[in-house]
Every structure is written in C-alpha cells, then in structure tokens.
Amino acid sequence: MDLVARATAGSSGAELANIVNEAALRAVRMKRNRVTTNDLEESVETVIAGAQKKGKVISTDEKRIIAYHEIGHAMVAAMQTHSAPVHKITIIPRTSGALGYTMQVDNNEQVLLSKEDLFNRIVTYTGGRAAEELICNTVTTGASNDIEQATKLARAMVTRYGMSETYDMMGLETVKNAYLGGDTSLTCSTDTATDIDHEVLRLIKEAHQKARKIITENLEAMHQAATFLIEKETITGDEFMRILQQTEKQ
C-alpha cells in the first residue's frame, strides 16, 4: 500500500477510482479474483500514460534510441540530489503516444519544492535528449514532451516562484482559472518579456549541460543499463540501481 500511495501522491478521488477500476479489470483479464500490487502499479501507468501497445512495430535502431533516451533520464535522476528515486523504466509504447518513459516516485509526498528541486527536474527532463546527442549522435522528436515540460517549469521559476536572480521576488505572470487548466498571462512590458525568454533559455541550457556532464561521466553504466533494458523492455528502479553499483565496483 505504501508503494501505491507514493505512486499516486496528489491524485484526485476520481483518478484513484479510475486506477482501482483499471486494476480490477486487469485482474479479471489475467483470470484472477484478487487484485495484486502489480495490477495497481500497471493501472497507475495506464491512467498516466495509457495502455500498453505491445503490438506496435519499432525498428531495432529506433528501439536503441528510445532505450538510451529513457536510461538518460534515469541516469541523470539517479546521480542528482533533490531528485525522486527511479521506480521503473520501460520502452513499451503506450496508447498516449509515448514510446517509453521513466517513472520516479518520491519517498515522501512533497508540499514545498526548493529551487534545487525544480532545477534538477529540468536537468532530468533534458537527460533523454542529452543521451541521444552523446551516444546515438542524433536528436529526435522523442524529446518533445520533455522540452514542453522543461520550458514550462523554467518559465514558472522565473515568472511565478521568484527563483531568478535577475527579477528577485517580482511577480511577472498571473494564473487565471487555476481549477480549469490554469491559463497564464504575463504582467510585464514587452522588453521584460523578451528578457524573460533569455532567462528561461539560460536555465534550460545550464540544465542541459549538467545532464550531458552526468551522462559523459557514466557512459559504461549507460551502455550496460540500455542493453539490459532493450532485452527486458521494462526494468525496475532496483534493477537499474544494481547495474550502477556493479559498474562503480569495476
């Protein structure tokens, strides 16, 4: 129950109901009359990322890129402080369009997030693209959601959370209809809006460089973990950490 609770931290009652329903359906499909922890774990992923699409055909080259992309996220997350532990890594496509994902689960539910917490999240978002660049010598559309999330978070740090040295505690953005999607609008001059773009870009570039540095320093572990992931398609956070520990001993 502790594992499921941490994986669903922040979920609404309706989302929890959907997760339990999905778990019950999975148990029936597996010809069981009891719901297991695995059913609940899989149902969390189904609600978040969609159902598995195991029949989707992916070429060997693309599968390799996807594996390194996801291991890039996991490696950067594992090598940082102020970062949630890696819980699961998969390269099984989902109905949401995701070709793979890395799931992190905090040990405790966090209410307050520090500047370091948020910056390290951006670093983790850039880890997939950094792995593509350094190991696969390419960049792909697989990082589209990472780019969106990293940009959104970096902009919020500058405009709403007062985490920019340039603008100190000045509010530069307001949130409208917080319970209906949370549309935002800038409350500053055109010149300041341009400067905000520069500040956001600086944060993302700094995070990207940190991710590249972490991956460069752990190339052997990257190769071993990616090879294991390609073979198994899904690995747990514990399996991933064991690979890191074994590599450090060598």
Per the structure block, which two tokens stand in for 159?
A: 């405009």
**Count of residues in the chain:** 250
* Angstrom distance (rounded) from CA 213 to CA 112: 28
**Residues of 35-68 as b/e, b for ≥16 C-beta within 10 angstroms?**
beeebbbbbbbbbbbebbeeeeebeeeebbbbbb
Block residue for tokens 């994902």: 101
Which of 22, 70, 132, 199 does the annotation list as catalytic? 70
* Angstrom distance (rounded) from CA 74 to CA 105: 12
Q: Residue 44 in 3-state DSSP?
A: helix
Residues 39 and 29: beta-carbon distance below 8 Å: no
* Angstrom distance (rounded) from CA 65 to CA 130: 11
217 is catalytic: no
- Pick from 181, 187, 237, 245: nearest CA to 218: 245
Catalytic residues: 70
